[in-house]
Amino acid sequence: MTSFNDFGLQEPITRALRDENYVTPTPIQAQTIPIALSGRDVIGIAQTGTGKTAAFALPILNHLIGNRRRPERKSARVLVLSPTRELSGQIADSFRTYGKYVRPFDVALAIGGVPINRQIRALQRGVEVLVATPGRLLDLVHSRALDINRIEVLVLDEADRMLDMGFIHDIKKIVAMLPRERQTLFFSATMPQQIVQLAGAMLNNPERVAVTPQASTAERIAQRVIHVDKPAKSALLTEVLKTESIDRVLVFTRTKHGADKVVRVLQKAGLAAEAIHGNKSQNQRERVLSAFRDGKLRTLIATDIAARGIDVDGVSHVINYDLPNIPESYVHRIGRTARAGRDGVAISFCDHEERAYLRDIERLIRMAITATDRRTGRQDHAAAPHHSANHQNERAHHRGNHQGRHGGGHGQQGARPQRQPQDKRKQDHEKNEPNGLGNVRFMQRTGEPRRSAGHRAQ
């Protein structure tokens, strides 16, 4: 499919797409839309940033236009489950954008962290599309504000994140209440075993589609790592923010406390910055996010969890103030830049204790990241000290302590960048590794969330 006109979508949809200047479908859209239009179930392996929201929203809107009827009171015709408040809000906004010429068309949002009464009122007359986080959806069902036994289409978005965040039981409860006769569109960035099982239980003879977003994204992102002493990180960040030509930058810290500290340091240095994380109220988060989106705020500091689902175009730089201890988070983080065909820059600060994390990341992305050592001022392509024999010990130690965090058995090759290792040295290194790059296996303990409890609290 080379054009949105090829799908035979209803005119109100194609008109909205023209308004948005969407001409060419993204790969996930090209693959998913025809299958979803035929009424079949879909299992899509794709990340946020690949255009997957439109991949499910457009065929759903087409179904609603082709089968017009008022929804029953206290019910919805389409249910979209998403793991976070932010992502849910963005999905609802996308439905409103793509559905702006569809009438009648009501979209409701059911998310936690805000009063439930308005949501109850919004559902009273019934809505076409309900976008919800699982916990709040169950609250609404239990308080009899919502009946989900007439849902025609179910979307489960970011299923692997749902698993990470401990929502799997809620999802199973919700699915058990849905009618068996329905269409299900299921999306996940990775396919750990529990997600395969969940999909098996929820989907009826699904067609599978997959895109490899990281590979194409990674190619457009100039990645660098700066080895730095931990106490020097804040001065380095100030320097980078003052010297790089940055339009909009997302700075990642591992903890909420760390995010607030970075904001204070930057403000002291005369640089405007704000943080979003779990301790901030929904209002604060929305205010900061919209300032960032509108270009009024250049620097946003976030933890991994707070940043989930943030979809802001035009992020020119991602800075990893702390390296993530889960290598997949690195890929998610840097994927915030280089959106919509643009280029991006990802700069990672790596202190001594983070060398093992860097190694894990390089194994996952199958490339050595260009490194600068700020302690010596030396430019050092992929010959960073983290490949030293010493590091093997560090790594063994790291694995011993953090095995469980790698849960999730990422057998899905398609979700990985396919890049070849960049230099001979690294290839040699890989050959000697029993768990080399061509054969990446992460430890998995079934039933255990990917992150430690401490990390999940961010």
Minimum distance of ligand AMP from residue 98's CB (angstroms) = 9
CA distance 106 to 74: 13
253 lies in the site for ligand AMP, by CB under 6 A: no
Nearer to ligand AMP, 123 or 211 (CB): 211
Report yes or no: 360 and 433 within 8 Å, Cβ to Cβ. no
Angle 13-18-23 from CA coordinates, rounded to 5°? 105
Interface positions, 294-333, toward ligand AMP (CB under 6 A)? 311, 313
CA distance 260 to 282: 17
Among 9, 16, 36, 54, binds ligand AMP (CB under 6 A): 54
83 lies in the site for ligand AMP, by CB under 6 A: no
Residue 137: name the closest of 86, 82, 191 by CA: 82
52 lies in the site for ligand AMP, by CB under 6 A: yes
Candidate segments 50-58, 66-74, 282-290, 447-455, binder of ligand AMP by CB under 6 A: 50-58
The DSSP call for residue 396 is H
* Residue 1 CA: distances (Å) to CA of 36, 53, 449: 14, 18, 38
217 lies in the site for ligand AMP, by CB under 6 A: no
What's at 427, amino acid-wise? Q
Among 12, 25, 59, 409, binds ligand AMP (CB under 6 A): 25
84 lies in the site for ligand AMP, by CB under 6 A: no
9 lies in the site for ligand AMP, by CB under 6 A: no
Nearer to ligand AMP, 52 or 416 (CB): 52
Candidate segments 17-25, 144-152, 253-261, 330-338, binder of ligand AMP by CB under 6 A: 17-25
* Residue 357 CA: distances (Å) to CA of 185, 316, 348, 391: 34, 24, 11, 11
214 lies in the site for ligand AMP, by CB under 6 A: no
51 lies in the site for ligand AMP, by CB under 6 A: yes
Minimum distance of ligand AMP from residue 398's CB (angstroms) = 32
Minimum distance of ligand AMP from residue 86's CB (angstroms) = 11
DSSP helix/strand/coil, 188: strand
Query: Which residues of 203-246 form beta strands (DSSP E)?
Result: 207-210, 221-227
The DSSP call for residue 75 is B
CA distance 246 to 307: 19
Tokens of 267: 């403000």
Number of residues this chain uses to bind ligand AMP (CB under 6 A): 16
Among 14, 32, 53, 412, binds ligand AMP (CB under 6 A): 53
CA-based max dimension of the chain:
69
Q: Which residues bind ligand AMP (CB under 6 A)?
A: 22, 24-26, 29, 48-54, 311, 313, 339-340
